[in-house]
Structure formats: C-alpha cells, structure tokens
Copies of this chain bind each other. A is one copy, B any other.
Amino acid sequence: MKRTLLSVGVAVALGTPLSALAQAKPEVLVKQRQAAMTLQGKYFGPLAGMAQGKVPYNADVVKRNAGYLNALDKMPWDGFSPETKGEKSAALPAVWNEPDKFKQAADRLNSEVSKLVEVSQSGDEASVKAQIGAVGKSCGGCHETFREKR
C-alpha cells in the first residue's frame, strides 16, 4: 500500500516515468544545469547589488542567499557531461576541451562561496561585500572562457 501511494506521488510529482531517471537524456542534463545557473543568478543578483550599493545591505538576506548558493554551486557540473556537447546551449567547446581548467573554475566558485558563507556569519559588512565581489569575479572568470558572449 505504501509503495502504491509512493508510486502515485512520485509519478505525479515528476510527471515522468521513473525509468527515464536512471540515465538522464542530454537535453535534460542541459535543462538541469541551466536551472542551477538561473537560480544562482536569482540569489547572487541581490548580493551583487548590495556590494555595489545599488540595493540596501541586508545581512540576513546575504546569509540566506550564501547558504542557498553553497548548495546551488554544486549542482551544474555533472550536467556538462560529454554527451551534452551537441545540445544547443551557451557552453563553449572549451568546457570539454579544457576540462582541468573548467574544473578549476568550478572549484574556485565553490571555494569563494564557502568563504562567503563563513564571512556572512560575522556580520562585518565591508568583509562581506568584498567577498561578494570575489564570488562575482569567480562567476565572471568562468563565463569569460566557457560561455558564449550574449
């Protein structure tokens, strides 16, 4: 009975047969990695605005968003698997031609966001803003090399 209810819940929840989940299709991988980028934009945008003085500084929002980003910044990378090379996206061939450099860029983001999580606990506004800048540079540094200009 439990299993039946679960099946129904899951089928409704995901709108897709479970069998399709074992091996995500290339277009699904692209959609998922783009979703992670979209949400990183959602939660980083206001922080960038605060660091630039365009949005009022709010330490609680920084803490919350830093926590979200600390999860989101782990999510895009498995979506850049080789079978997605042919899919329409802004990813440049460098993603697959320079995997070590791409991994370094991802690691840098992860590291800068981890630091932001730490710094955001202290409540020192200047340090927090400086660290938001460091996160922004790690986003930009990666996009510069690995994403099509738009």
Inter-subunit contact A5/B74 (CB<8 Å):
no
Q: Are A13 and B143 in contact (CB under 8 A)?
A: yes
* Of A8, A14, A137, most B-chain CB atoms within 10 Å: A14
Identical chains in the assembly: 2
Asked if A46 CB lies within 8 Å of chain B CBs, one says yes
Asked whether A133 lies within 8 Å of B9 as measured between CB atoms, the reply is yes
Complex CA distance for A39 and B68, rounded to whole angstroms: 13
A36 to chain B, nearest CB (A): 6
Q: Report chain B residues within 8 Å CB of A6.
A: 48, 51-52, 132-133, 136-137
* A19 CA / B9 CA spacing, docked (Å): 41
Chain A: residues with CB nearer than 8 A to chain B?
2-3, 5-16, 18-19, 21-22, 24, 31-32, 34-36, 38-39, 41-42, 44-46, 48-49, 51-52, 54-55, 67-68, 71-72, 74-75, 130, 132-133, 136-141, 143-144, 150
Known interface pairs A12-B143, A67-B71, A71-B71; A133-B5 also in contact (CB < 8 Å): yes
Query: Contact at A18–B75, with CB atoms within 8 Å?
Result: no
Please state if B14 and A41 are interface contacts (CB–CB under 8 Å): yes
